[in-house]
Structure 1
Amino acid sequence: MTELRHRGAKDGEPPLQQQPSEDKGSDSELKVEKDGVSDTETKADSGVPEVPVPADDTPEVLNKALSGLSSRWKNWWVRGILTLAMISFFFFIIYLGPMVLMMIVLCVQIKCFQEIITIGYSVYHSYHLPWFRTLSWYFLLCVNYFFYGETVTDYFFTLVQREEPLRILSKYHRFISFALYLTGFCMFVLSLVKKHYRLQFYMFGWTHVTLLIVVTQSHLIIHNLFEGMIWFIVPISCVICNDIMAYMFGFFFGRTPLIKLSPKKTWEGFIGGFFSTIVFGIILSYFMAGYRYFVCPVEFNNDSNSFQVDCEPSDLFQLQDYALPSVLESVTGWTTVRLYPFQIHSIALSSFASIVGPFGGFFASGFKRAFKIKDFANTIPGHGGIMDRFDCQYLMATFVNVYIASFIRGPNPSKVIQQLLALRADQQLHIFNSLKAHLVEKGLLPALEEAAA
């Protein structure tokens, strides 16, 4: 950043505006002290312009109702009330079904992208970079077209093959996606202006890293959702539970700082959140695993021309008896316990949400400290921006997708058949003969013929 400032002065550009720390008002000093940023850190990062601090957006009715409380308890009540409101909204969209959930994920993704891009634009607004915001949103459109097109083709093959326009778009989807991106790439090259080259390439990278972090991982959330809403709801709920319980334990019992990036995070909150999330994950999984609405994958019904969530639950969602270890048997007096296998997997999900998931929040905290901001935006009073609530969710989504691919998902016969039906007749006949020879060699085909007779 210092190099950019020097370059701007040499090339006749206006230098990045950054006032020395001693010229800042008492409000800025209080903010630095509140956020836990030392004077040394402030001076070391003096080459980075600060993003304007958003005004307090707490609803006036809450300000009046909580006016007699200290700032600490006022923040506690504001966060608590808004948290309950967000959880209620979450339950409502779950009731509306998977397709509405998918649209909500898309809206959240767009808002998170807007918050990060706005920070970049606010920091370097004085340079008046040509086409920066236009190209950023264009690249977002291109990447979403690519990912959602892949998802529709993969999960709703029957619908795509039935409609001629969709079939053509599916066949040339990747070429169209590449052509769209190439158009944006050429537009960026044409937008390059003398004396702004380095900064323009810097912002080009800013946009692409944002797309990688936000769009790619939100796409994985969609994939998890289509595997069954339980793979969407349980991981997200575990992150929410860990965030709430870590805050509660830290608020009432926190004494030992956990990490310098987030001075308010404590070991007491971290440990309390871990055990609370494990118990919560097991209980929530037991409740949800008994309902087909939550465990069945989302499929398109060709007969009713609608999306449906109905199937015969797999063994993962069938109650089974598990023998207890001798230690637990001596304590409880039980020899076996009846659980859904998914509850065992929920322990892995809860553990990740409690141990590794918070590092997504620490990463976001480091990003915000780099630009001297407290929150990504002021969308949600007491919570900050949408990205402040989803910084851990994106990391969790990636883990769940990898976990499903590694330990859960097997070959899907329906998808194999869909791919076979898309082949030419001679290719289908070749595969049929190969499969028939394989079954005869294994001794399975004669048994099938006798059963048919």
Structure 2
Amino acid sequence: METRQRKQRMDLKEEANDSAPDAPSDDGSKMAPPPKDDTPEILKKALKVFAIQVKCFHEIITIGHRYYQTFELPWFRTLSWYFLACANYFFYLEARSELLPDSPVIGFLLKYHRLVSFTFYLIGFIMFVLSLVKKMYKIQFFMFGWTHVTLLIIVTQSHLILTNLFDGMIWLLVPVSMVICNDIMAYMCGFFFGRTPLIKLSPKKTWEGFIGGGFFTVILGWFMSGYLAQFPYLTCSTDFDLGLGVNTQCEVPAIFRPATFEIPLFVQVLLKVVGLKMTTFVTIPFQLHCVVFSLFSSIIAPFGGFFASGFKRAFKVKDFGDIIPGHGGMMDRFDCQFLMATFVHVYMSAIIRVPSPSRLLPMILALKPDDQVWLFEKLKEHLKVGVGIRMNT
């Protein structure tokens, strides 16, 4: 009996030692720590953006499906998701080809990417034509257009969000924060000072909230952008050679380094009136661009919310979904964000971004060897002329 009890105590002691974390062994060493999550942070955020895209698409299509289902017509939901897959295949395979493994199949898909994408689309198009039912043509074509407009609004703009993210997380973090700030401050200013209705689509929105939200958003954008610009982890673009990691040792782009700017003459005159004699000032160029972003997020981006409000009123629904208790669906939270992200991408492409060798390299590698040699010779001639000019000057 005593032997059995002693054995039970020893077994309990061994179980306790096994369950204790980092318990030292007899030789003084510690147990191995649990494995770390090595998934790149940039990839986690990209997957979150993709998940939000799918959920927003689902919420809009569901509204159409409820209306469409009353006619007992086939294939609408199936075709909607099929076209979503085709759109994502078209956008992401071509834009992020450097992430794909090197294999004959991948090489074939990249070489004939647009042809393959169009073939996939044609399959869906033919399926839609075969699903047409007599006396229901009008509603079926209406829902066909519904699906394509949803793809345009959701997939295209989420693709631009990811493009901004890969250029540096600051290009996603700051615009998103501006929209959130404007939403919160517009509500608070409207709650305390609102008297004048702004737009009939949203009766609770007021001019006081609209103006107050814009004022505080500009202030937040200025100070927040200046603070975040000092962190290379946010300003450096994604290095695809590091497996989607962020190269924090990159050379900080000039847009995030302090620079001297000349004050316009009429502003100098105004400053002299108040006793300030300034002709130049020093700031980070990114802060000046963020003033533009702040104004857009305050003046234009709210119309994305007005658009969503009109859409919901047209189909007599309160919210797009109920995934967020008390706040509706995912689309209710991101109606302004999509518009804001699109503007940031267009603004960067037109005003900020310069040609990047990393973006040209995949296209160069896709050329035939003879074309690559021809391009090399042309670049060599160009560089010789450029070096000669610099040496002569």
State the shift of 1:422 in Å: 3.3
What is the aligned counterpart of 1:245 among 150, 166, 185? 185
Equivalent pair of 2:320/2:332 in contact (CA under 8 Å): yes
8 Å CA contact 1:257–1:264 kept in 2: the answer is: yes
Aligned mate of 2:209, from 253, 258, 269: 269
1:236-291 Cα shifts (integer Å, max 9, x gaps): 11111101110111111111000011100000100000000000111110111001
1:254–1:269 contact (8 Å) kept in structure 2: yes
Contact 2:40–2:244, Cα closer than 8 Å, also in 1: no
Corresponding position of 2:83: 139
CA distance, structure 2, for counterparts of residue 108 and residue 346 of structure 1: 25
Pairs within 5 Å for 1:209-224: 209-224=149-164
Q: Is 423-432 or 105-114 further displaced after alignment?
A: 423-432
The structure with the largest alpha-carbon Rg is 2
Which residue number in structure 1 is paired with residue 245 of structure 2? 307
Do residues 398 (structure 1) and 337 (structure 2) align? no
Aligned position for 2:19: none
Counterpart for residue 181 of structure 1: 121
Equivalent position to 1:375, from 319, 328, 339: 319
> Per the alignment, in what secondary structure is the counterpart of residue 127 of structure 1?
coil
The match for 2:387 is: 444
Deviates more, 1:258-267 or 1:165-174: 165-174
> Are the equivalent residues in 1 in contact too, given 2:68–2:143 (CA < 8 A)?
no
Deviation by residue 1:98-138 (Cα, 9 ceiling, x = unmatched): 21111111111111111111111122322112011111111
Deviation at 1:331, TM superposition (A): 5.2
| Residues in 2 aligned to 1:334 and 1:161: alpha-carbon distance in whole angstroms | 60
Q: Distance in 1 between matches of 2:368 and 2:378?
A: 16
Q: Which runs of 5+ in 1 are unaligned?
A: 1-94
Verify: 1:278 aligned to 2:218, yes or no: yes
Q: Which runs of 4+ in 1 moved over 6 A?
A: none
Counterparts of 2:306 and 2:386, CA distance in 1: 58
Taking a change above 3 Å as real, the CA distance of residues 419 and 211 of structure 1, as seen in their structure-2 partners, is closer
1:447/1:395 CA distance change after superposition, 3 Å: closer
Q: Provide the rounded CA distance (Å) in 2 between the counterparts of 1:323 and 1:201.
A: 57
For residues 389 and 314 of structure 2, the distance between their equivalents in structure 1, rounded to whole angstroms, comes to 70
1:415 Cα deviation from its structure 2 partner: 3.0
User: d(CA) in 1 for partners of 2:218 and 2:307?
Assistant: 23
Q: Which residue of 1 aligns with 2:258?
A: 319
Over the aligned positions, Cα root-mean-square deviation in angstroms equals 2.3
Residues 227-246 of structure 1: pairs in structure 2 closer than 5 A: 227-246=167-186
Work out the CA distance in 1 between the residues paired with 2:131 and 2:140: 9
Q: Tell me if structure 2 keeps the 8 A contact 1:257–1:263.
A: yes
Q: How far apart, CA to CA, are the structure 1 residues paired with 2:326 and 2:100?
A: 44
In structure 1, the residue matched to 2:166 is: 226
Contact 2:238 2:244 in 1 (8 A): no
Please give the per-residue CA displacement for 1:324-383, whole angstroms capped at 9, x wherever unaligned.
Answer: 543357659584543211000000001000000111111111111111222112221222
Task: With the length of structure 2 as denominator, give the TM-score of the two structures.
Answer: 0.82
Name the residue aligned to 2:109: 169
Aligned position for 2:60: 116
Counterpart of 2:171, as a letter, is: W
- Indicate conservation of the 8 Å contact 2:182/2:298, yes or no: yes
Residues 83-98 of structure 1: pairs in structure 2 closer than 5 A: 97-98=41-42
Question: Quick one: which amino acid aligns to residue 105 of structure 1?
Answer: V
1:50-69 aligned within 5 A = none
Amino acid at match of 2:68: Y
User: C-alpha offsets along residues 203-252 of structure 1, whole Å, 9 cap, x if unaligned?
Assistant: 11111111111111111111111111111111111111101110111111
AA aligned opposite 1:245: M
1:353 aligned partner: 297
Aligned length: 348
State the one-letter code of the partner of 2:387. Answer: L
Q: Which residue of 1 aligns with 2:4?
A: none
Q: Tell me by how many angstroms 1:323 deviates.
A: 5.1
Structure-2 separation of matches of 1:406 and 1:172: 29
Note closer, same or farther for the CA distance 1:288–1:133 as it changes in structure 2 (3 Å cut).
same
The 8 Å contact of residues 40 and 245 in structure 2, kept in 1 or not, is answered as no
Contact 1:253 1:269 in 2 (8 A): yes
Q: The residue matched to 2:311 in structure 1 has which SS?
A: helix
Q: How big is the shift at 1:172? A: 2.0
- Partner deviation per Cα, 1:46-97 (whole Å, 9 max, x = no partner): xxxxxxxxxxxxxxxxxxxxxxxxxxxxxxxxxxxxxxxxxxxxxxxxx972
Query: Partner amino acid for 1:192?
Result: L
Taking the aligned partners of 1:290 and 1:279, their CA distance within structure 2 comes to 18
Paired residue for 1:200?
A: 140
The answer to whether the 8 Å contact 1:286/1:340 transfers is yes
What corresponds to 2:13 in structure 1? none
Question: 1:410 aligns to what?
Answer: 354
